[in-house]
Amino acid sequence: MDTFIQVLVSGLTVGSFYALVALGYTMVYGIIRLINFAHGDLVMVAAFIGWFVLDRTAVGDLPAVPQIAIAGTIAIGGAVLIALGLLRFVYRSLIDYPLGFMIVALSVAFCLQELVKLIFGASNRAYPAYGISTESIGFLGVTVNRMDLVVIALAAVLMIGMLWFVNRTRTGLAMRALAVDHDAARLMGIDVRALIAVAFGVGAALAAFTGVLSGVYYQRIGFEMGFMLGMKAFTAAVVGGIGNVGGAMVGGLLIGILEAAVQGYLSSTWSDAFIFGTLILVLYLRPRGLLGERVAEST
Amino acid sequence: MGSLAATRELLSSGSLKARIALTSIIGAVSFAVVIALLVMGMGSTYWMAIAISVTTYATMGLGLNVVLGYAGLLDMGYAAFFAIGAYTSAILTVNLEWNYFLSIPIAVVVTGLAGIVIGYPTLRLRPDYLAIVTIGFGEVVRTAFNNWQYVGATRGLYPLPNPELFGFVFDDPQRQLILAAVLFGIVLAFVNRLGVSHIGRAWRAIRDDDFAAEVVGVPTLRLKIGAYVMGGAVGAIAGAIFASRSVAIDPTNFTLFVSVQVLMVVVLGGLGSVRGVLLASTVFVVLPEILREVQDYRTLIFSALVIAMVKFRPSGLIAERVSPDAVSLPSLEEAVAGRDPAPPPAAPPPTPGSGAEAAPRAAGDGALLELRGVSQRFGGLTALDDVSLAIRPGEVMGLIGPNGAGKTTLVNAITGVRKPSGGEIRLRGERITGRRPHRIAKAGVARTFQAIRLFPQLSAVDNVITGEYQAAHLGVVDALLRPRRERRHQAETVERALALLDQLGIADAALRKPSELSYADRRRIEIARALASEPSLLILDEPAAGMNPSEKRDLVATLRAIADQGIGILLIEHDMPLVTRISDRAAVLDRGRLIAFGDPHDVLRDERVIDAYLGKPHEGENGA
């Protein structure tokens, strides 16, 4: 039972990271039906920006929470700028050339990794140790890491915010309309270009938030941390139903729990294989994902 | 026939040949670089190792080029094939002590099977899913080898024996280079032949527009799996080359990064371009060796180059020689050489519907196409409501109705794009309801699209030839091993396609790409492509849209001639004078129901029809 609760908690934590990153994939995919392979690496870039702020500047005199908040805000700003810059100067002209777009996005991912490696070096960097990251508390009769609960709570707040955004705002409604029927939504006068920018920006902000939070959580970041995280987050988006914001959250949490369960009960080395195996299985049995309404493909 | 002669003229003119010569020069230079490397390699072990490395990358590049370059499938886990090939060879030689050369065919077969297992479920989905699934596949394969004790898990397999053939041991770099070069040569011949064959053309059609390819009769799923598996098999040979010169293999040789590097080689070289792949793999391996300083920035530089290449020169270093150069030209020249100056002794090129092929088709028990109670519902919307209708051979049936009446939905139901929710569709008595589009095309239904869907990268004549894929009766074996039969077939099909283009009055456009042609000419090419499948029923979705009066007159004459060959025509058209002029009968759809049917003049006087057009407007549906 102890193991079960611990697996569940750490699964929900990792799953929260996946879910937040999956939101970025699914929003962009819903609008332009393309995969931005560099999205996962924005997490990594933001983690490094956050680390840089925490490590090199005067915020060190403040208590932990404001410190992290400042670093997080700067990282989010940086990531949003990078994402919008990439959209404007690299991606935009390729939206009508899907194969080219995806190849370029993949290359952008590797460029970001190499640039970070060039600037910060190839070795891992350590986030400052805050008491909060290691403190354990009793929870439902078992001891869990308090930071797990912080991550889950923060992610839950953001996810509720995202659900409000897509369900209750005009922009969110337009996004959902595009995901369901691209052509009809265009004819209704939805400004696709602006929406793409919103999806890139919001997605980048969520990715950056994830980056700094995971830095504080794991206390260790490296230039390779983003790509596989991104791939698993995309898997989560597909499992939940690509283009569906709620689906990305459900899928993220499920993938996180699956990973924690495989690591907890089987072997840590097999977890990636299980995740991608699940992806192949879901695509085979239910290609629209758990919450997806249809496979957006006919003529 | 004047324009046809002009086309032939063009084929022997200078400009085309000059273009081909230029690309050949670039290709020859890249070959020369490779060969120079090989020669240099004879002198130094260091350069020999690099030459083997170039060969390995080039082999992988050629394999991925089949998948990505020819068929347009984004495989991001190509290293999985490389890994399975190398491991299969290593398991057989190390654990089972087989001869290396016997291990190669087994490695190819095992890799091919893995390709089928992964390709079959994923290739029917949206193409972008393939990218993620293949990344996952690559990781699963690597993880499996990483944990599998039988193959040494993280330690890998060692020592790999030196390949041995009848007592000749490939134990030094020079001999291993020769072995690698021989295997590479086999692969090169293999992918080259595939590329210029009828299969290569169909792959490019799929790459350009897989939906249109399926509808004109190309079995897209089978061909995609074919590309994935054959590309994978080439990866297995690259794996075998790798195993032949290595002391040990372990899972770190087969990371995602390897897949990405091969992807870069193919994109930089030029999608679909064999010589581009050779040049790019040489640059990719040799450049960091010559310029030591760039070694640390290799990934950064090549990633940036890929971005720049896709954005500013998507065709790559050496553009793929698509049609007319590669695919059609040799056979086109042959066709011309075979025909000119004397006319052929045999019968004129068979035109669709004429001759033995079509005669039995036409001679049915009356109805060519029969719809019985066909319905199509989308959620709560009834797009087609109990439509029954029959078309006779050689008849032109006009299908009219206001926008959103369900005309295109009906065409989609007939052609298998969307299976009807109810009812039955028979072609010459044979039930075709719910078959896949390419099967229905094979059964004898051809169509054009309301919004023209030609293959943009293929010339007009190649577009037309794609339409007769089903009639080719050629397989992979022909593509690979029977060059003469394949060439003769190509010559015949080119000749037939030219005749069709000539019939539609656009033979002079044969070698142009669709983007260079007028709207009306593009429509004509689409009709020619539909006719190329030798259909018994031709469905035209607004063929006169965008045509001027004289073009419309030509169209009427052309359609009459087609119908006179015994082909039934279902014509969707908004131009009422044109419909009454050409149709034998007309059917009127309104809100999914057939509201009038009969002589076109009578039908247009029918009160319900007038109401449907002039009555209170109603909402459009997804008739597009």
Q: Which tens digits make up the pLDDT trace of B336-347?
A: 444 443 333 333
Section B601-610 average pLDDT: 85
pLDDT in tens, A137-163: 776 667 778 888 889 999 999 999 999
**Residue A182 in domain:** yes
CB proximity B310 to A under 8 Å: yes
Give the up-direction half-sphere exposure of residue A1: CA atoms within 13 A in the CB hemisphere: 5
Closest residue in B to A112 (Cα) is: B300
A85-94, B119-128, B326-335, B541-550: lowest mean pLDDT where?
B326-335
**Residue A297 in domain:** no
pLDDT in tens, A56-66: 766 667 777 88
Section B527-548 average pLDDT: 91
- Given a cut of 70, whether residue B150 has pLDDT beyond it is yes
End-to-end CA, chain B: 37
Distance CA A226, CA B565 (A): 63
Domain that holds residue A205: 2-285
In angstroms, what CA-CA distances link A214 with A72, B111, B170, B346? 11, 38, 51, 76
Q: Give the per-residue pLDDT at B491.
A: 79
Confidence at A215, pLDDT banded by 50, 70, 90: very high
In angstroms, what CA-CA distances link A97 with A243, A250, B135, B544? 20, 31, 21, 29
Confidence at B620, pLDDT banded by 50, 70, 90: very low
pLDDT in tens, B70-81: 999 999 999 999
| Cβ contact A272–B139 (<8 Å) | yes
- Given a cut of 50, whether residue B359 has pLDDT beyond it is no
Q: Which of B39-43, B400-404, B414-418, B485-489 tops mean pLDDT?
A: B414-418
Among residues 13-72 of chain A, which lie with CB inside 8 Å of chain B? 33-35, 37
CB proximity B83 to A under 8 Å: no
Query: What are the structural domains, with CATH classification, of chain B?
Result: 20-321 (1.10.3470), 322-351+458-532 (no CATH), 360-444+534-624 (3.40.50.300)
Residues of A in contact with B293 (CB under 8 A): none
| Cβ contact B310–A100 (<8 Å) | yes
Residue found by looking up tokens 């993949």 in the block: A106
| Cβ contact A104–B314 (<8 Å) | no
Q: Give the per-residue pLDDT at A299.
A: 31
**Residue A299 in domain:** no
Distance CA B100, CA A236 (A): 42
Would you call the peptide bond into B345 cis, given omega within 30 degrees of 0 as the criterion? no
| Cβ contact A277–B136 (<8 Å) | yes
Among residues 159-188 of chain A, which lie with CB inside 8 Å of chain B? 183
Helix (H) or strand (E) holding B389: strand B381-391
- Given a cut of 50, whether residue B583 has pLDDT beyond it is yes
**Residue A292 in domain:** no
Type of residue numbered A167: N
Compare CB distances from A114 to B121, B125, B299 and report the shortest one's residue.
B299
Compare CB distances from A231 to B127, B132, B263 and report the shortest one's residue.
B132
A42-51, A87-96, B251-260, B358-367: lowest mean pLDDT where?
B358-367
For residue A42, the distance in angstroms to the closest alpha carbon of chain B comes to 16
Q: Give the per-residue pLDDT at B624.
A: 39
CB proximity A298 to B under 8 Å: yes
Residues of B in contact with A280 (CB under 8 A): 118, 121-122, 133, 136-137
For residue A123, the distance in angstroms to the closest alpha carbon of chain B comes to 15
What is the rounded (10 degree) CA torsion for A234, A239, A241, A247? -90
pLDDT in tens, B501-523: 988 888 888 888 898 998 889 99
Residues of B in contact with A99 (CB under 8 A): 72, 74, 271
Residue found by looking up tokens 């898990």 in the block: B153
| Cβ contact B128–A231 (<8 Å) | no
Distance CA B195, CA A6 (A): 55
For residue A282, the distance in angstroms to the closest alpha carbon of chain B comes to 10
CB proximity A235 to B under 8 Å: yes
- Given a cut of 50, whether residue B497 has pLDDT beyond it is yes
Q: Give the per-residue pLDDT at B75.
A: 93
Residues of B in contact with A187 (CB under 8 A): none
| Cβ contact B132–A235 (<8 Å) | yes
Q: How many residues does chain B have?
A: 624
Q: Give the per-residue pLDDT at B40.
A: 61
Q: Give the per-residue pLDDT at B622.
A: 44
Q: Give the per-residue pLDDT at B363.
A: 41
CATH of the domain at A205: 1.10.3470
For residue A112, the distance in angstroms to the closest alpha carbon of chain B comes to 8
Q: Give the per-residue pLDDT at B470.
A: 79
Q: Give the per-residue pLDDT at B25.
A: 56
Closest residue in B to A33 (Cα) is: B128
**Contact yes or no for B336/B499 (Cβ under 8 A):** no
Residues of A in contact with B417 (CB under 8 A): 298-299
Residues of B in contact with A259 (CB under 8 A): none
Residues of A in contact with B252 (CB under 8 A): none
**Residue A179 in domain:** yes
Paired tokens of A185: 């939504």
B89-93, B322-326, B409-413: lowest mean pLDDT where?
B322-326
Distance CA B95, CA B93 (A): 6
CB atoms within 10 A of CB A239: 29
Type of residue numbered B101: F
CB atoms within 10 A of CB A246: 17
CB proximity A89 to B under 8 Å: no
Distance CA A8, CA A12 (A): 6
Compare CB distances from A100 to B122, B131, B314 and report the shortest one's residue.
B314
Residues of B in contact with A295 (CB under 8 A): 125-126
CB proximity A123 to B under 8 Å: no
Residues of A in contact with B72 (CB under 8 A): 99
Per DSSP bridges, beta strands B568-572 and B537-541 are parallel
**Residue A291 in domain:** no
Q: Give the per-residue pLDDT at A45.
A: 96
Section A270-284 average pLDDT: 83
Confidence at B238, pLDDT banded by 50, 70, 90: very high
Confidence at B611, pLDDT banded by 50, 70, 90: confident
Per DSSP bridges, beta strands B445-447 and B537-541 are parallel
Distance CA A276, CA A283 (A): 11
**Contact yes or no for B381/B619 (Cβ under 8 A):** no
Instruction: Dump strand ranges (E) for B476-546.
Output: 537-541
Q: Give the per-residue pLDDT at B9.
A: 55
Compare CB distances from A103 to B121, B147, B267 and report the shortest one's residue.
B267
Among residues 185-224 of chain A, which lie with CB inside 8 Å of chain B? none
Would you call the peptide bond into B159 cis, given omega within 30 degrees of 0 as the criterion? yes
pLDDT in tens, B372-398: 999 998 877 888 999 999 999 999 999
- Given a cut of 50, whether residue B66 has pLDDT beyond it is yes
The dihedral through the CA atoms of B459, B463, B468, B473 has a sign that is positive
Q: Mean of the per-residue pLDDT values for chain A?
A: 86
Among residues 216-275 of chain B, which lie with CB inside 8 Å of chain A? 256, 260, 263-264, 267, 271
Confidence at A67, pLDDT banded by 50, 70, 90: confident
Please tell me the pTM assigned to this model.
Answer: 0.85
**Residue A290 in domain:** no
- Given a cut of 70, whether residue B418 has pLDDT beyond it is yes
Pick the more confident residue, B380 or A99.
A99
Q: What is the 3-state secondary structure (H, E, C) of B353-378?
A: CCHHHHHHHHCCCCCCEEEEEEEEEE
Residues of A in contact with B267 (CB under 8 A): 103
- Given a cut of 90, whether residue B84 has pLDDT beyond it is yes
Number of folded domains that form chain A: 1
Interface test with A, best of B75, B146, B311 (most A CBs within 10 A): B311
The interface pTM score, or ipTM, of the predicted complex is: 0.88
Sheet containing strand B585-590, strands side by side: B445-447, B537-541, B568-572, B396-400, B585-590, B593-598
Would you call the peptide bond into B600 cis, given omega within 30 degrees of 0 as the criterion? no
CB atoms within 10 A of CB B465: 30
Q: How many CB pairs under 8 A join A and B?
A: 120
Interface test with B, best of A29, A34, A106, A262 (most B CBs within 10 A): A106
Paired tokens of A75: 């990282």
Helix (H) or strand (E) holding B183: helix B173-196
Interface test with A, best of B64, B129, B263 (most A CBs within 10 A): B129
**Residue A160 in domain:** yes
Interface test with A, best of B75, B134, B139 (most A CBs within 10 A): B139
| Cβ contact B128–A269 (<8 Å) | no
Interface test with B, best of A114, A181, A224, A235 (most B CBs within 10 A): A114
Q: Mean of the per-residue pLDDT values for chain B?
A: 83
What percent of chain B is predicted at pLDDT more than 70?
Answer: 84
| Cβ contact B310–A279 (<8 Å) | no
